[in-house]
Amino acid sequence: MYENILIPTDGSDTANVAVSHAVDLAKKYNARLHALYVVDVDAVNLSLGTEQIDRIRQGNFGEMHELQEDADDATGAVVDAAAEHDVAVHEEVRVGTPHDVIAGYADNQDIDLVVMGSHGRSGVRRALLGSVTERVLRSTHVPVLVVDEHEEA
Ligand code: ATP
Ligand code: MN
């Protein structure tokens, strides 16, 4: 049923709770995990030129150490958790609009299940769901498991 499980992560505490659910499911189903971090192009647009953004798109972060670190921290947490449980994991960092990239990846990479947090790094709890999760739910036919941060694994 589940051979490829996508865990989109922004490195937030809630996403990391979702990671533990994803790892557990991957272990039980002998599935491969795909850890995806999206560099939000609209957020970086404000401070970067188009040349820098193009370089980042090609995976060359250059002097943008913070962006690189955010990406590494987020996907690295999945790699560590997966290694602990002997689960195969593929790390992916892409540049774009998070919900578009996540839904596109789910639809185009043979993903059977998406596991993601109800909220993320913005930490604002005014909404029941963060905007990235809400938009992913509206834009993919792949099943999505939404994990609340209070739901300990
Ligand atoms: P908002 O961003 O709408 O202000 P939020 O940050 O609390 O609110 P979301 O951004 O929707 O909530 O985050 C919910 C989940 O979406 C996260 O737990 C994570 O699984 C995923 N996610 C959010 N941003 C990214 C990203 N840049 N790359 C990959 N996954 C992401
Ligand atoms: Mn967010």
What pLDDT does residue 47 have? 77
Instruction: Kindly report the protein residue whose alpha carbon is nearest to atom 3 of ligand 1.
Output: 131
- Tally of domains in the chain: 1
Q: Is 11 in the pocket of ligand 1 (CB under 6 A)?
A: no
In a domain, 24, yes or no: yes
Q: Give the pTM.
A: 0.93
The residue segments making up the domain with residue 61 are 4-148
Instruction: Kindly report the protein residue whose alpha carbon is nearest to atom 25 of ligand 1.
Output: 10
In a domain, 96, yes or no: yes
In a domain, 71, yes or no: yes
CA distance linking residue 118 with residue 128, whole number of Å = 8
CB 41 within 8 A of CB 96: yes
In a domain, 135, yes or no: yes
The residues facing 146 across adjacent strands are 116
Which domain CATH number covers 91? 3.40.50.620
130 CA to centre of ligand 1 in angstroms: 6
Per-residue pLDDT of the chain (153 residues; tens, 9 = 90+): 899 999 999 999 999 999 999 999 999 999 999 999 999 988 877 778 888 888 888 878 877 888 889 999 999 999 999 999 999 999 999 999 999 999 999 999 999 999 999 999 997 777 789 999 999 999 999 999 999 977 555
CA distance linking residue 88 with residue 97, whole number of Å = 27
Q: How many CB atoms lie within 10 A of CB 61?
A: 18
Read off the tokens for 101: 């990239």
Q: Which ligand is nearest to the CA of 10?
A: 1
In a domain, 153, yes or no: no
In a domain, 123, yes or no: yes
